Amino acid sequence: MQYDFNEIIARKGTASFKHDLTDKFFQQGDILPMWVADMDFRTPDFILEALQERIQHPVLGYSFHPESQYQSIISWLQRRFQWNVGKEWIGFSPGVVPALNLAVLEFTRPGDKVLIQTPVYFPFYSAVKDHGREMVLNPLTLSDGRYQMDLENFISQIDERTTMLILCSPHNPTGNVWRKDELESLMQICLEKNILVISDEIHADIVYPPHQHIPTASLSPEISANTLTFMSASKTFNIAGLSTSFFIASSEELFKRMEGAIGRLHLSQGNIFGNVAMEAAYTYGALWLDELIAYLAGNVRFAKEFINNCMPGVSLIEPEATFLLWLDFRASGFSDKEVRKLLVEEARVGLSNGILFGPDGEGFQRINIGCPRSVLEKGLAGMSKIFTI
Ligand SMILES: Cc1ncc(COP(=O)(O)O)c(C=O)c1O
């Protein structure tokens, strides 16, 4: 490996949400933070160097998205997903979550129903509820260790007020990479029922072979015309603090409306550093990402073996993507409340409570394994003292 993912980097004292706010969120300052979805790895040098080069220039005035930034995105999507997108399909936003909220505001009306498939990344709930829209839950079903979409239930929930689906692909927190047939069936329903698809693909890059991410909009021109895709280099390259993301819409109408929603708030310029970092990531990041995925796959294997051998009451949902693992504690012999208390007070780890991701997350916890293996080992060792038979 050319890159070192074993390096321990002290993040405390850097105003890190994950490391510096454990007091506030867990009432404990000295627990191992394995919750917020950023990684403890060094942001790759080719990004830091590009930022350093930019800061050599002494003026940080207004900037725009240069042609080279567009081309870096187009080339990345082509190389990683064989997805050809036009420059005129690309717009920018200061994060995927702000874009989700703006899409709900722009494309639905108060009282409209928005479908989400649970358990799911919790800001999906607020993006719907905070704007007076009605949330409709289509719970994923866990069968043979893999979450599946329940399309019959999905269809049965649709009425004339249902106007939008927010899809998480790959799916946080279950780690699903949606397969072609799953996506096609879902999209077919959305086309037939006139449901606009918001496809949050922020986790598209970190996928474990042999799984392959398929951008929803790449399935067909018809599906593309009914889809807004949200992506970012933030998770992949550990630059979430730069608040920079982009969207893709091949439909001119969808593009104009989304661009308008972002532009009216003067949010599409982004910030200089986010733009520079994104371009460097997509220009130079392929090898680093391949090595990251290989390292994370090693972390997944390590966690799986450890949990299977030392924590018989706990099971791991095999991830197909993401550095987030979904752990099932329902057979641990402890209630959800007890598990939460034990993890913090005895195991001394800070995970994300499953219940945050929806009612069907009860009994589950999400652990972030985007860290050096020695840190993962420490976290799991703490947990194994409690969750044994
Ligand atoms: C599915 C999903 N969407 C969006 C985000 C956050 O996006 P942003 O930081 O660009 O708002 C996350 C972060 O964990 C996520 O998991």
Question: pLDDT band at residue 270, thresholds of 50, 70 and 90?
Answer: confident
pLDDT at residue 45 tops 90: yes
What is the pLDDT of the chain when averaged over all its residues? 97
Q: What is d(CA 359, CA 307) in angstroms, rounded to the nearest whole number?
A: 24
What are the helix (H) ranges across the chain?
A: 17-20, 22-26, 45-55, 67-81, 96-107, 123-129, 151-156, 180-192, 221-224, 252-263, 272-284, 286-310, 336-342, 373-384
What residues have CB less than 8 Å from 44, skipping those under 6 apart?
A: 3, 237, 238, 281, 284, 285, 288
Question: pLDDT band at residue 44, thresholds of 50, 70 and 90?
Answer: very high
Taking only the tens place, the pLDDT of each residue in 280-304 is: 999 999 999 999 999 999 999 999 9
Task: Check if the beta carbon of residue 208 is closer than 8 Å to that of residue 320.
Answer: yes
Taking only the tens place, the pLDDT of each residue in 171-205 is: 999 999 999 999 999 999 999 999 999 999 999 99
Tell whether ligand 1 has an atom less than 6 A from the beta carbon of residue 172: yes
Tell me if residue 238 falls in helix, strand or coil.
Answer: coil
Average pLDDT over residues 309-336: 96
- The token pair at 369 is 């394994």
Omega within 30 of 0 (cis) for the link into 119: yes
Cα–Cα distances (Å) from 330 to 17, 286, 306, 323, in that order, read 29, 39, 18, 22
- Domain 17-43+287-384 fold is Aspartate Aminotransferase, domain 1 (3.90.1150)
Tell whether ligand 1 has an atom less than 6 A from the beta carbon of residue 200: yes
Task: Check if the beta carbon of residue 80 is closer than 8 Å to that of residue 63.
Answer: no
**Does 29 or 89 have the greater pLDDT score?**
89
Question: pLDDT band at residue 307, thresholds of 50, 70 and 90?
Answer: very high
Residue 171: other Cβ atoms inside 10 A: 26
Tell me if residue 176 falls in helix, strand or coil.
Answer: coil
Q: 309, exposed or middle or buried, with CB in 10 Å at 0-12, 13-18, 19+? A: exposed
Question: pLDDT band at residue 388, thresholds of 50, 70 and 90?
Answer: confident
Residue 264's nearest CA partner among 85, 134, 68, 91 is 91
pLDDT at residue 33 tops 60: yes
Q: 142, exposed or middle or buried, with CB in 10 Å at 0-12, 13-18, 19+? A: middle
Task: Check if the beta carbon of residue 93 is closer than 8 Å to that of residue 202.
Answer: no
Q: What is d(CA 245, CA 202) in angstroms, rounded to the nearest whole number?
A: 9
pLDDT at residue 375 tops 90: yes
Which residues make beta-bridge pairs with 115? 136, 165
Comparing 5-19, 20-34, 213-227, 365-379, which segment has the lowest mean pLDDT? 20-34
> H or E segment at 246?
strand 245-248
pLDDT of 389:
56
> H or E segment at 271?
none
- The whole model's pTM is what? 0.97
Average pLDDT over residues 345-360: 97
> H or E segment at 240?
none
What residues have CB less than 8 Å from 314, skipping those under 6 apart?
A: 307, 327, 328, 329, 331, 332, 383, 387
Average pLDDT over residues 57-81: 97
Q: pLDDT over 70 for what percent of the chain? A: 100
Structure-token match 């018809």, residue found: 222
Average pLDDT over residues 86-112: 98
Q: What is d(CA 329, CA 344) in angstroms, rounded to the nearest whole number?
A: 15
Cα–Cα distances (Å) from 214 to 53, 83, 96, 98, 162, in that order, read 35, 9, 19, 24, 25
What residues have CB less than 8 Å from 358, skipping those under 6 apart?
A: 118, 119, 120, 122, 125, 137, 139
Residue nearest to atom 14 of ligand 1 (CA): 37
Classify domain 49-284 by CATH number.
Answer: 3.40.640.10
Ligand 1 probe mutation, 121, 207, 237, 352, most atoms within 8 A of CB: 121
Residue 209 CA to ligand 1 centre (angstroms): 22
Tell whether ligand 1 has an atom less than 6 A from the beta carbon of residue 97: yes
Residue 55 CA to ligand 1 centre (angstroms): 27
Tell whether ligand 1 has an atom less than 6 A from the beta carbon of residue 101: no
Give me the residue spans of the domains in the chain: 17-43+287-384, 49-284
Tell whether ligand 1 has an atom less than 6 A from the beta carbon of residue 336: no
- The token pair at 172 is 């946080």
pLDDT of 28:
84
Residue 247's nearest CA partner among 35, 54, 69, 99 is 99
Q: Phi and psi of 251, rounded to 5°?
A: -75, 125
Q: Specify the ligand 1 atom closest to the Cα of 234.
A: 10
> Residue-wise over 57-68: b if at least 16 C-beta within 10 A, else e?
eeeeeeeebeee
> H or E segment at 228?
strand 227-231
Cα–Cα distances (Å) from 109 to 132, 161, 278, in that order, read 8, 9, 33
Comparing 27-31, 291-295, 306-310, 345-349, which segment has the lowest mean pLDDT? 27-31
Average pLDDT over residues 129-145: 96
Tell whether ligand 1 has an atom less than 6 A from the beta carbon of residue 167: no
